[in-house]
């Protein structure tokens, strides 16, 4: 039972016991008073019979219990020497005083007990409030001890736990906010650096073309090719950053449909066909007739980035394979190569934005795999990379049936 309910029940029980004692004492005192009054009346009747033997019992009862409108009570009492403050039956006066005294004592006892219980509860709550205040002060000072020894089902213990959870949540939120600002600062710095290099190169080559109208045709063509390559690089970077921003802001809504993975594999292979031919890399696929409920456009983009990364890190004569399989739990897509592999130091970071490993090319911006991971996770899937330097890499994508985005 909770502490508050126990205290309320204890308080109510104390009041009930005190009231019961007061009622019992009053009842006993009134019973004594009744017996004394009855003895006094019997003595009165005996005296009447001694002086008036002919009087009947009914007449005596009528005298005792009847009411007389003509009788002047005050004059009659004065005639017998009884004032208005005196009792007609003296023994009843003494008993009434005892009764009043006992009742007052019981009432005072009830009040004292109730005050003691209330003071105890108030003092306990004040102590607990001071403990919670001190606990909150310790948390604010950096001491995040949960204080498990004080946990219970009471309201103050639950309040302490809620204070802890709220404080930790606020701390984590502040940390995430600080990390977000730091990441934004780093991202802006990386973006600035990534765009600045090709943009500066484009500006310089354009100025050379404008300042040298007699430039040889071969050199002019080379400059134009470099400008075109830099422009495509900037366009890819800007487009990727916009896509990542939309994914971060949850502004992209996936439109799922049942799509044969063979179609997605085919488009991903076509997107890297030119690059693969230039490097002499074969890109093979086997969908095994598997279909997947997904957004074809976005999954193609994610898969293309992964295949492109594999082709870039596979030497002449190497192979990149795409394979699909399905079971009752998930649909798995594997993209593997027999290239140079990923170093152990780089492997945990390859999905981080703007991360460039030791084997990355100079043109790499470190955003393709991060974009693929964001798209796949948006679709409800998971991705992991396994690699062994010198033996190639494998990217495993799994879409669990219950996690696929609708």
Same fold, 156-248 and 257-403: no
What residues contact 160, with CB distance under 8 A and at least 6 apart?
A: 132, 135, 147, 150, 151
pLDDT tens digits, 46-80: 776 777 777 776 766 666 665 554 456 566 556 55
> Is 156-248 a CATH 1.10.287.130 domain?
yes
Point out the least confidently predicted range of 95-104, 111-120, 196-205, 314-323.
95-104
* The two structure tokens encoding residue 398: 């799994």
Q: Is the pLDDT of residue 30 over 80?
A: no
Q: In whole angstroms, what is the distance from residue 381 CA to residue 181 CA? A: 28
Q: 272: which DSSP letter?
A: T
pLDDT at 335: 96
- Mean pLDDT confidence for 74-97: 58
CATH topology of domain 257-403: Heat Shock Protein 90 (3.30.565)
Q: In whole angstroms, what is the distance from residue 396 CA to residue 9 CA? A: 62
Q: In whole angstroms, what is the distance from residue 27 CA to residue 106 CA? A: 12
* Dihedral sign (CA 280, 286, 287, 289): positive
Q: In whole angstroms, what is the distance from residue 131 CA to residue 160 CA? A: 9
Q: In whole angstroms, what is the distance from residue 145 CA to residue 7 CA? A: 29
CB contact at 8 A, 377 and 247: no
* The two structure tokens encoding residue 147: 């204080």
**pTM for the model:** 0.53
pLDDT tens digits, 330-372: 999 999 999 888 888 888 888 887 777 666 665 666 788 988 9
Element (H, E) at 295: none
Q: Is the pLDDT of residue 392 over 70?
A: yes
pLDDT tens digits, 103-129: 677 777 777 777 777 777 777 777 877
Element (H, E) at 27: helix 3-51
Indicate the SS3 state at residue 333.
strand
* Average pLDDT score over the chain: 77
pLDDT at 321: 95
Rounded to 10 degrees, the C-alpha dihedral 344/346/350/356 comes to: -160
Instruction: Please report, rounded to a whole number, the percentage of residues in the chain having pLDDT higher than 70.
Output: 69
What residues contact 93, with CB distance under 8 A and at least 6 apart?
A: 86, 87
* The two structure tokens encoding residue 173: 């939120």
Indicate the SS3 state at residue 162.
helix
Q: In whole angstroms, what is the distance from residue 113 CA to residue 55 CA? A: 55
pLDDT at 148: 47
pLDDT at 4: 54
CB contact at 8 A, 331 and 324: yes
Element (H, E) at 325: strand 319-326
pLDDT at 210: 87
Q: Where are the domains of the chain?
A: 3-140, 156-248, 257-403
């Amino acid at each position: 039972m909770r502490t508050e309910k126990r205290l309320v029940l204890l308080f109510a029980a104390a009041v009930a016991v005190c009231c019961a004692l007061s009622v019992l004492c009053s009842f006993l005192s009134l019973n004594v008073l009744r017996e004394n009054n009855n003895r006094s009346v019997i003595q009165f009747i005996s005296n009447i019979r001694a002086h008036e033997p002919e009087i009947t019992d009914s007449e005596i009862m009528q005298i005792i219990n009847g009411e007389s409108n003509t009788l002047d009570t005050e004059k009659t009492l004065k005639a017998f020497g009884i004032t208005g403050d005196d009792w007609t039956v003296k023994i009843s006066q003494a008993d009434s005083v005892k009764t009043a005294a006992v009742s007052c004592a019981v009432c005072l006892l009830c009040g004292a007990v109730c005050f003691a219980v209330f003071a105890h509860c108030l003092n306990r709550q004040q102590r607990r409030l001071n403990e919670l205040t001190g606990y909150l002060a310790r948390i604010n000072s950096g001491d995040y001890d949960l204080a498990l020894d004080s946990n219970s089902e009471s309201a103050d213990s639950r309040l302490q736990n809620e204070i802890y959870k709220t404080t930790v949540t606020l701390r984590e939120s502040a940390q995430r906010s600080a990390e977000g600002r730091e990441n934004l600062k780093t991202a802006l710095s990386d973006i600035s650096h990534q765009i600045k290099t090709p943009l500066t190169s484009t500006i310089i080559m354009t100025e050379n073309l404008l300042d040298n109208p007699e430039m040889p045709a071969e050199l002019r063509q080379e400059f134009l090719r470099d400008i075109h390559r830099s422009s495509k690089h900037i366009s890819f970077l800007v487009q990727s950053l916009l896509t990542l921003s939309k994914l971060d802001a949850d502004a992209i809504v996936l439109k799922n449909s049942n799509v044969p993975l063979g179609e997605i594999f085919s488009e991903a292979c076509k997107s890297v066909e030119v690059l693969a031919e230039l490097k002499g890399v074969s890109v093979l696929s086997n969908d095994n007739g598997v279909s997947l409920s997904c957004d074809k456009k976005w999954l193609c983009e994610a898969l293309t980035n992964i295949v492109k990364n594999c082709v870039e890190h596979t030497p002449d004569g190497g192979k990149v394979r795409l394979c699909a399989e399905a079971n009752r739990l998930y649909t798995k897509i594997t993209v593997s190569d027999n290239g140079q592999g990923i170093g152990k130091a780089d492997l945990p970071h390859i999905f981080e934005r703007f991360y460039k490993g030791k084997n990355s090319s100079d043109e790499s911006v470190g955003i393709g795999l991060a974009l693929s991971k964001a798209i796949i996770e948006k679709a409800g899937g998971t991705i992991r990379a396994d690699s062994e330097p010198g033996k190639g890499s494998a990217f495993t994508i799994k879409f669990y049936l219950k996690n696929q985005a609708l």
